[in-house]
Structure 1
Amino acid sequence: MSTAPPPPPPGPAPGPTTHTFNGPPGMTLDQQKAFVQAQMQHQAQLEHTKQQNLQRAQTLPSIDDEPFTPLPFTINRTEHSLSLPPDFVSSPSLVQGDPSPQEILDGINSLAKLFKTAPPQAIPPPPQKIDQGRSAQVVKLKDEGNAKFKARSYDQSILLYSASLAVASQRMPWEASGIFKEEMSTVLCNRSAAYGAMGDWPASYADADAVVKMKRPWSKGHFRKAKALLGLSRPQDALTAINLGLEYEPSSIELLAFRDEILAALKAEEEERRREELDSDEEEGAGK
């Protein structure tokens, strides 16, 4: 007869439960206890707040609980309006504080009438939409002005450039601003050249200055402005204008060549001033 194996010797009695400390290193035992206690209080506060939020959410009304009453609207496609049966039109508000069915009906029909009778420009299109028909008209008038300019019919070219500017300036405010600046600056620059060709340097300067303000990095605007200033016998201001343009396009052949022309004009002006001073000195010497 076999006998059962003897039971294993009893193991050591379990010791107290230990907790791993994850606080900052270098704390004393008292500091560690205070740190753990603060963490436990923080967790308890978070759990309390969570339970409060859950209880509050359970008291909120569900969307399905809100009253909803469909209205039997009838669409009149000829007059672009809505109508309701008489008993609904005369009924009060379905919910306290809400508009009545008649007020709802009047508001919808008024809005539909506005959209039907308002001019196209009163209803904004999608963002960044460009009026291609207006763009084509601006280019057409500008090109006709260029043809008159090449034919030396400067007065006619100015009229056509002005008409092109009038069309471009009537763009709606919701159109892309870059298109407006591009069209206006190009046509103004051309008109500045036409005014200059006629010797109307003040008008040429006004157009060129507007070009620089609208499209500052464009060398052509600085060139036209400097050209007009030189025509106004202001070579020093013309040099300042051309140097500003060279800051944006240092290798512009047109600007560099015209700067040489301005420098030659300044040199000639200085030589003329010296001759006048010499002549004045000689006259004073002869009078003694």
Structure 2
Amino acid sequence: MKLEVFQALWAMQQRRPGVPERPVEESFEMIAAAGYDGVGIDLGVTPLEEAQALGPLLQRYNLGCLVTAFVKTMDGLGPVLDLARRLDARHVNLIGQVMPLNVEATVPVARRWMEMAEAAGVSLQFETHRNSITNDMFATLQLLDAVPEMVISADLSHYVVGREFDCPPDARTEGHVARLLARSGSFQGRIASRQQIQVPFGFPQYAKWLGVFLAWWEAGFRQWRRHGSCGSTTGVLNFLCELGPHEYAMTGPDGCELSDRWEEALILKAHARRLWSALETE
């Protein structure tokens, strides 16, 4: 078993007023030099045609690949799976936006996407994300009960905001989170509060939320190691640092961000590897 830590390519965007974005290859160079194992490619930000052209950069910098996709139709997953095969992606993080109004109607949607991924030979995980079939934590828990083989990619920041978690979370909430962690095949690195999807966790007023997320990741890593790697056939757990630019990142009146997301991502990478290393010695 091993841990791989990835950096989201869209998180490399700066979106600073009057400042041009760095070239894509420069971002790849920075990610590789910082010791990441791979890059997360989000098709909601990088169009499919541009993502297809990133293969040579992945090879040049010896980086692995994850693909995240917002899929709005049943057939929309097909091109994503084709791209994932071409880029040899570890898995696809699906943000499924075919959204029936009840869990019973969602089950065949999830199963159909899972069947498509299995036929394509691509590992598929359903990202916990707002405005998707995993939008609500309670509905997601019911969906996981109805589809026992379903695996999620745990971005718990969406539920912290969506359900306005207390800090510290109460026992009932922690019980729900534990059920999610038990079905998580990967984890995403972002710190939220009950009112903000992404906070500058180095500020003292948000330190308590960093502690909450670190405890969840440690528990999730432990469950993944102890209980069959959540269906993984490779024995590799992926952790994706995904600190997004504005409007995920908090900004001041000048439009500039309040903290350095690149440095924060490096801190999250170090935390993830520290937690993993500690579990290896247990």
TM-score normalised per structure 2: 0.23
TM-score normalised per structure 1: 0.22
- Please identify which structure carries the higher strand content: 2
Q: Which has the larger radius of gyration?
A: 1
Higher relative contact order (CA 8 A, sep 6+): 2
